[in-house]
Structures are given as structure tokens and as C-alpha cells.
């Protein structure tokens, strides 16, 4: 390249550099303007949509207006089937060894029927010996009486053959012989009573509930009862009822009693209400008379229910009923779709929910779900698909 050409190239380069610098500055300024405009639009857009976002963030709940529903007030209780008159039968004599068991569990027995026998190998000979002794005493008494009568007859004749002392002696011998007879009779009666106690008898008509006697078993007066008898076969339910429910029950009131394994409940009658309440458990014992049925076995677990009245109250789902240190309450949807706490009073449980005795009139929108996670005054959204009028 010659000197002239190099000089021309340097002039063109010097003229081009300022132009490129101007274009770069214009591009930078334009980019900044566009960036600021985008940020402004985004801020304005978010500010315009902020209420909708807050609304979409509110918890979604289900609510219902419970209204007022008629229902039946009832008292529920649990207990066991027992014999109305449970009679334990044991040894009331000296005891001995069981030689025979004559009945089994579930047998129906009559008054006076033998249930079991004890060994009589010792008592039976004693009774026989005392009977012989009694016969001897009676014979001696007869002889003494004859001698006394003869002495009296002789002493009354014209010529007295016996002295007065002799006659008195005969009379004394007669009295002694008669006393021996009475003593022998008493001893025999005692031995026969002991022998009679070796046989256990049913004190009344009934059904044998339990049997603890076994052949060969040695028993004494302190041994546990050998049999338990349900007098007349009558059974009933013995139940424990809460203190607050007892005033609602009355003697003669009908109750439905259910036992495990039997689908149809039995209709019973309240026979007895408690005179006292257990100070520890705050429960009282109630007796419910039941009909005769082979499935009503003493010892079976039973549930009872007695209907006491009818009423009309708001009934809310169990999930809506809440409680804390301030008491029981429900949440309702108030003005502005905000949560309002309503103190309520528990009125009992029904299959359909919880009865509200006080605090609601039935027109409120009660929150049925998620109540435990809400706070008073919090804004919520009601699920219209699940809301009920």
C-alpha cells in the first residue's frame, strides 16, 4: 500500500468511530426506557389484581344451616344380665366329702330337691346308735312307771306294805327315766339334723347357674358356695347410669335392652332406681326387669336405652361441635364471609349429630369442616357445591 492510500484509510476510520459511539448510547437509552415501562406495567397490574389473590387465598369451608329438627331424648346405659334373686348354696354343717352331685348347670330344680350329697359313713352309725339308746331309755321309763304305779297302789291299801320313803324313791326313779328319754331324744334329733345337712337341697324353685361341687371334694362350712341358683329363673339387667341422667328415669318406664349376638332388642321395665350415687364414679345402679329367654344368660354384657321425651332443636354434625378452655362452641359464617364464634350448650348426641340445647336458632351458617384450623374473624370461602340451606 502506498503512502496516499494509508493516509485515506486513517481519515475514514477517524470519521467512523464517533458515529458508532452515538448509536451505542441511543440503544442503551432505549433499552432502559423499555425496562422502566415494563416494571411500571407489572406494578400496576399486580396492584389491580391484589384483592382477587387475597380472596383466592382464603380457606375453603363447608357450611350448613341446621334448622330445627324433632328428635327423641333418650338415656343410654350399659351393664350386665344378672339373676334377679341370686341364691348361693353352700355347706351349713360340719362338712365332709362330696359323694354325689345330682344336678348340672342350667337344670331347672324344685324347692327341696337334692342337689348334692356328702359322705355319711360317720354320721349314719351315730344316728343308729342314738336311736337304740332312745329305745332303751323309753323301756327303762316304762319299767320305772310301772314300779311307781305298783308302789302307789300298795301304799293305798288297808295294810301299808311300803313306807312313804319307798314310794318317793319309785317316783324319783320314774322322773329320772323320763329325763333320760328326753335327753336321748334331743341327742338323736341333733344327730339326725347333722345327717340331714349332708344333703344339699334347693331352697326354692329356680335354675342352677353355677356348680362348684365335684365328687370326692372335701368341703367345710367355710368353703365357697357349691351352687348358685336363680330363684324362679328370673333375670334382669344391672346397669350403671350417669348422675345427670337419673332424674329422667322413672320406675315402670320401658327400656330396650340389647345383647351381643341377638339382633332384636328385648323390652324391659325399670324396676329399681338407686338410693345412693357412687361418689367416685358419679354413677347409680339401675335394675331393668327382662322377660324369660334362654339367650338372656347371667353375666352377658348388655346395652340399654330408655326414651324419656321428645323435643325440637338444632342438630349439627359432630365435626362442627368444638370445645376449648372457654367452653363448647361452633363457628358460623358471619358478615363479610368472616368466621364468628358462637358459644353453645351440648344437648346430647343423636345418630344424625350433636343436639344444640342453647346458642343457635338454626338459621346460622354453621361451618362443618376445618373448624379446628380457623380463627375468629378470619375470612373464608364457602364451598357452594357443599353448602346446604
Q: Which residue has the higher pLDDT, 156 or 173?
A: 173
Give me the mean pLDDT over the 153-161 stretch.
Answer: 64
Q: Do the bridges between strand 60-61 and strand 381-382 make them parallel or antiparallel, or are there none, so unpaired?
A: parallel
Architecture (CATH level 2) of domain 60-69+313-382: Beta Barrel (2.40)
Distance CA 164, CA 147 (A): 14
pLDDT of residue 250: 92
Average pLDDT over the chain reads: 81
pLDDT of residue 21: 45
pLDDT of residue 347: 82
Torsion of CA 47, 53, 58, 59, to 10 degrees: -160
Architecture (CATH level 2) of domain 77-83+234-310: Beta Barrel (2.40)
Q: How many Cα atoms are found within 13 Å in the side-chain-facing hemisphere of 370?
A: 16
Q: Does 24 have pLDDT greater than 80? A: no
What is this structure's pTM? 0.57
User: What's the pLDDT band for 305 if we cut at 50, 70, 90?
Assistant: very high
Identify the three-state secondary structure at position 172: helix
pLDDT of residue 219: 86
- Which of these, 57, 56, 65, 63, lies nearest to 369 by C-alpha position? 63
Distance CA 255, CA 303 (A): 10
User: What's the pLDDT band for 60 if we cut at 50, 70, 90?
Assistant: confident
Give me the mean pLDDT over the 329-357 stretch.
Answer: 88
Topology agreement, domain 60-69+313-382 and domain 77-83+234-310: no
pLDDT of residue 15: 47
How is the chain split into domains, by residue range? 1-56, 60-69+313-382, 77-83+234-310, 89-211
**Any idea which residue has 361441635 for its cell?**
321
Give me the mean pLDDT over the 4-23 stretch.
Answer: 48
User: What's the pLDDT band for 383 if we cut at 50, 70, 90?
Assistant: confident
Identify the three-state secondary structure at position 107: coil
pLDDT of residue 73: 81
Q: Does 28 have pLDDT greater than 60? A: no
Give me the mean pLDDT over the 283-306 stretch.
Answer: 92
Alpha-helical runs (H) found in the chain: 3-57, 123-155, 164-196
Q: Does 386 have pLDDT greater than 80? A: no
Amino acid at each position: 500500500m502506498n503512502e496516499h492510500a494509508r493516509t485515506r484509510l486513517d481519515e475514514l476510520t477517524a470519521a467512523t468511530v464517533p458515529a458508532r459511539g452515538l448509536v451505542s448510547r441511543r440503544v442503551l437509552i432505549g433499552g432502559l426506557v423499555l425496562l422502566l415501562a415494563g416494571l411500571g406495567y407489572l406494578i400496576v397490574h399486580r396492584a389491580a389484581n391484589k384483592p382477587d389473590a387475597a380472596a383466592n387465598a382464603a380457606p375453603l369451608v363447608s357450611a350448613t344451616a341446621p334448622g330445627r329438627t324433632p328428635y327423641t331424648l333418650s338415656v343410654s346405659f350399659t351393664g350386665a344380665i344378672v339373676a334377679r334373686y341370686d341364691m348361693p348354696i353352700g355347706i351349713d354343717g360340719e362338712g365332709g366329702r362330696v359323694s354325689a352331685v345330682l344336678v348340672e348347670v342350667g337344670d331347672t330344680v324344685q324347692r327341696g330337691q337334692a342337689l348334692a350329697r356328702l359322705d355319711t359313713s360317720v354320721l349314719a352309725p351315730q344316728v343308729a346308735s342314738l336311736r337304740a339308746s332312745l329305745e332303751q331309755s323309753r323301756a327303762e321309763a316304762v319299767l320305772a312307771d310301772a314300779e311307781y304305779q305298783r308302789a302307789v297302789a300298795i301304799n293305798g291299801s288297808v295294810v301299808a306294805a311300803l313306807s312313804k320313803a319307798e314310794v318317793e324313791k319309785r317316783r324319783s326313779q320314774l322322773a329320772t327315766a323320763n329325763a333320760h328319754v328326753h335327753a336321748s331324744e334331743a341327742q338323736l334329733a341333733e344327730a339326725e339334723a347333722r345327717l340331714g345337712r349332708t344333703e344339699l337341697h334347693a331352697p326354692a324353685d329356680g335354675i342352677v347357674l353355677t356348680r362348684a361341687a365335684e365328687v370326692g371334694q372335701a368341703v367345710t362350712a367355710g368353703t365357697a358356695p357349691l351352687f348358685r341358683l336363680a330363684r324362679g329363673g328370673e333375670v334382669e339387667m344391672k346397669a350403671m347410669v350417669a348422675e345427670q341422667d337419673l332424674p329422667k328415669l322413672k320406675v315402670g318406664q320401658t327400656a330396650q335392652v340389647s345383647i351381643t349376638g341377638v339382633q332384636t332388642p328385648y323390652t324391659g321395665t325399670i324396676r329399681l332406681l338407686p338410693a345412693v350415687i357412687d361418689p367416685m364414679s358419679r354413677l347409680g345402679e339401675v335394675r331393668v326387669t327382662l322377660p324369660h329367654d334362654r339367650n338372656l344368660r347371667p353375666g352377658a354384657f348388655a346395652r340399654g336405652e330408655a326414651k324419656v321425651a321428645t323435643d325440637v332443636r338444632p342438630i349439627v354434625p359432630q365435626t362442627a361441635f368444638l370445645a376449648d378452655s372457654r367452653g363448647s362452641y361452633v363457628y358460623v359464617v358471619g358478615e363479610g364471609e368472616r368466621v364468628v364464634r358462637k358459644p353453645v350448650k351440648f344437648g346430647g348426641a343423636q345418630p344424625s349429630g350433636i343436639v344444640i340445647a342453647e346458642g343457635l336458632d338454626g338459621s346460622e351458617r354453621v361451618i362443618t369442616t376445618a373448624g379446628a384450623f380457623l380463627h375468629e374473624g378470619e375470612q373464608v370461602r364457602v364451598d357452594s357445591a357443599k353448602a346446604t340451606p
